[in-house]
Structure 1
Amino acid sequence: MTTTHTLAAEKLTLGYGERTVIEDLDLVVPPGRITAIVGANACGKSTLLRAMTRLLAPRSGQVLLDGKAVHRLPAKELARTLGLLPQSPIAPEGITVADLVGRGRNPHQGVFSRWSREDDAAVAAALEATQTTELADRAVDELSGGQRQRVWIAMALAQQTDLLLLDEPTTFLDVSHQIEVLDLLTDLNRARGTTIVMVLHDLNLAARYADHLVALTEGQLHAAGSPSDVLTEECVRVVFGLDSRVVVDPTSGRPLMLPLGRHHVREPAGASAGDGAAGPA
């Protein structure tokens, strides 16, 4: 299955107070694919996600879901189609994991409807997928940062939306759990056709897991397309101000960025000690 829902930004300008963060941005999210948004700190990645879920009103332009402005859609209608995991969510004090994940079912509840077997199944599946079933009766504020992050992802999965937006979903996670979360999102995309848009700081994980990369710099769209088209040495230099080498990842076949710093860089073959190569021991 692949979702047919479309999500796009047209001439979008966003900001806070007198500060403009994103200006005149056009962006189309490929339906049924995984999109990763990358860029330096404060370039507008999280701001863009907030606007796409109508948490931030545009100064001008619009975000369109299936051709309709998201800021004009009823909140519950939007929540049945589009889910968001923000960067630093806050859980009510004392709430248990099961209760928090269950809140992902709120958009599916009517005024007079009761909790159903379908709701139970959705919550159980989300807990299992994120390996948090054994935490169901624990209070969220007692968990480690990594455990809490997986619980929040479980709540987003329980919402069962066709589009899922995640702001830095691998925050607080060690390397093995980062891979587990990204594998989980890939499974969700492949099994249900869920359109996934996520902000990631790790360029190499973004290139490995995303079908579509969006690179922002200073509130502008620098590049968008396949990882092999976007993750180039020129792009890394412009977007991050970093010299690098981009090679083919022998594991995934995707581009792999190797940063160049002032230290721990091998000298070219034949370089002399006067050129900075190490002399004999």
Structure 2
Amino acid sequence: MSAAAHSTSLVVSGLSAGYGETDILQGLDLTVPPGRITAIVGANACGKSTLLRAMSRLIQPRRGQVLLDGKSIHHLPSRQLARQLGLLPQSPIAPEGITVADLVSRGRHPHQGLFSGWTRADDEAVAEALVTTATDGIATRLVDELSGGQRQRVWIAMALAQQTDLLLLDEPTTFLDISHQIEVLDLLTDLNRARGTTIVMVLHDLNLAARYADYLVAMAAGRLHVSGKPEDVLTESNVREVFGLESRVITDPTSGRPLMLPIGRHGMVEAAG
């Protein structure tokens, strides 16, 4: 991947978008920090996935625009956009009977010209993606036979083979147990640090978002409620306003990042009489 990956910019300006007659996003502005990891958090149905879909041109904005290096993504040729921006949607489905290597190879489609065939550069990109995600040892296996964590790494490998400067991921840890969640997030962090790839991901777990992201975006009712460093976003007042949840926020002794402890009606330490 290009050493200049960190210079690519992604800006959302006055974006309103949705489905049918309903606007989910309402006049949203966001500048994604280039070369960093951004996590989008918020309550269910607040517009997190809709924002990611709009940023990847899967849905058309009603108003506003998404700018990639200053150019509207809706005016870029599809192949050019796919060379710059990769998307891992929520719960992707692999074709039946496809091997790991074949699925990862599909990430090279944006680089195939009308008359050009498979090249050595394609082979090298696929091999590098397999090694980076530690899926080279299962390259000949069928994707259907893999565990959830293995499958997610394979999908990330396909996105890496695309060799984009920007990678958008919609809930990459969904349905994974905690060890596989950490495995996937560690992999994305390694990718960001080694290549400068800008990563934007939707996460449900506030504490994992605060631990792994350089920049947090908290959404509420289709709008950007607050954004910034994890310590500035993950506060008790913001958790209350965004999630309607009382909490205590302390410093995580492992990472030094903020750690949110929810307060429910049960499971609390009772004060001594």
TM-score normalised by L of structure 2: 0.95
Q: What CA distance in whole angstroms lies between the structure 1 residues aligned with 2:154 and 2:168?
A: 16
Q: What CA distance in whole angstroms lies between the structure 1 residues aligned with 2:22 and 2:195?
A: 39
Runs of 4+ in 1 over 3 A off after TM superposition: none
Shift of 1:147: 2.3
Shift of 1:55: 0.5
Counterpart of 2:166 in structure 1: which amino acid?
A: L
Counterpart of 2:109 in structure 1: which amino acid?
A: N
2:39 to 36, 39, 46: 36
Counterpart of 1:31 in structure 2: which amino acid?
A: P
2:88 to 78, 85, 90: 85
Shift of 1:199: 0.5
2:10 to 7, 11, 16: 7
Deviations 1:124-163 (A, max 9, x none): 2222222222321222223333322221111011111100
Out of 141-150 and 4-13, give the one that drifted further.
141-150
Structure-2 residue corresponding to 1:196 = 199
State, as a whole percentage, how many aligned pairs show the same letter.
Answer: 75
2:56 to 35, 53, 56: 53
CA contact under 8 A between 1:149 and 1:171: conserved in structure 2? no
Structure-2 residue corresponding to 1:145 = 148
Shift of 1:56: 0.4
Structure-2 residue corresponding to 1:224 = 227
Structure-2 residue corresponding to 1:275 = none
Structure-2 residue corresponding to 1:156 = 159
Q: What CA distance in whole angstroms lies between the structure 1 residues aligned with 2:231 and 2:146?
A: 38
Q: What CA distance in whole angstroms lies between the structure 1 residues aligned with 2:167 and 2:35?
A: 11
Counterpart of 1:30 in structure 2: which amino acid?
A: P
1:71 to 45, 69, 74: 74
Q: Helix, strand or coil for the counterpart of 1:247?
A: strand
Q: What CA distance in whole angstroms lies between the structure 1 residues aligned with 2:230 and 2:92?
A: 29
2:172 to 169, 174, 182: 169
Shift of 1:259: 0.7
2:27 to 21, 24, 27: 24
Q: What CA distance in whole angstroms lies between the structure 1 residues aligned with 2:142 and 2:256?
A: 42
Shift of 1:189: 1.0
Q: What CA distance in whole angstroms lies between the structure 2 residues aligned with 1:208 and 1:139?
A: 33
Q: What CA distance in whole angstroms lies between the structure 1 residues aligned with 2:151 and 2:182?
A: 16
Gaps of 5+ in 2: none
The residue correspondences of 1:232-247 to structure 2 (distance < 5 A) are 232-247=235-250
The residue correspondences of 1:200-219 to structure 2 (distance < 5 A) are 200-219=203-222
Q: What CA distance in whole angstroms lies between the structure 1 residues aligned with 2:245 and 2:232?
A: 18
Structure-1 residue corresponding to 2:107 = 104
CA RMSD of the aligned region, Å? 1.3
TM-score normalised by L of structure 1: 0.93
Gaps of 5+ in 1: 273-281
Q: What CA distance in whole angstroms lies between the structure 1 residues aligned with 2:114 and 2:187?
A: 33
Q: What CA distance in whole angstroms lies between the structure 2 residues aligned with 1:218 and 1:93?
A: 38
1:261 to 261, 264, 269: 264
Structure-2 residue corresponding to 1:123 = 126
CA contact under 8 A between 2:15 and 2:29: conserved in structure 1? yes
CA contact under 8 A between 1:94 and 1:140: conserved in structure 2? yes
Q: Name which one, 1 or 2, has greater alpha-carbon Rg.
A: 1
